[in-house]
Structure 1
Amino acid sequence: MSDPLDKATSKAPATLGEGCLSRYDPDDLSPEDGTEFPGAAELWQQLQPEPGEEA
């Protein structure tokens, strides 16, 4: 079995903050990093409970 870490990318995006406040720098992200999600708004709407319905 091959090592899954061998397929890891060599360049991770830059991060901002430290510890639990650490996050990727939006200015360093690109489409190759998976930043595009054209169906995000539609998925969000599908996952929201109907008014009067409990989550």
Structure 2
Amino acid sequence: MNDPLDKATSKAPATLGEGCLSRYDPEELSPEDGTDFPDAAELWKQTHPEDEPEPQ
């Protein structure tokens, strides 16, 4: 079994901003960082049905 702490020592992506405005730099993110989420739009529709226009 792999050591679960091995991943914790990997290099974190670059950040922008400071303090509570700190965020990951989108230009530095890759699919290996978990940025590939092709079903995001569908998930948004499922979790925010009130955003959809009502049928007329």
Q: TM-score, normalised by structure 2?
A: 0.73
Taking every aligned residue pair, what percent have the same amino acid on both sides? Answer: 84
Counterpart in 2 of 1:40?
A: 40
Name structure 2 gaps, 5 residues minimum: none
Counterpart in 2 of 1:25?
A: 25
Instruction: Detail structure 1 runs of 4+ shifted over 4 Å in the superposition.
Output: none
CA distance in 2, matches of 1:9, 1:28: 18
Q: Which amino acid aligns with 2:17?
A: G
Offset of residue 8 of structure 1: 1.1
CA distance in 2, matches of 1:11, 1:46: 34
Name structure 1 gaps, 5 residues minimum: none
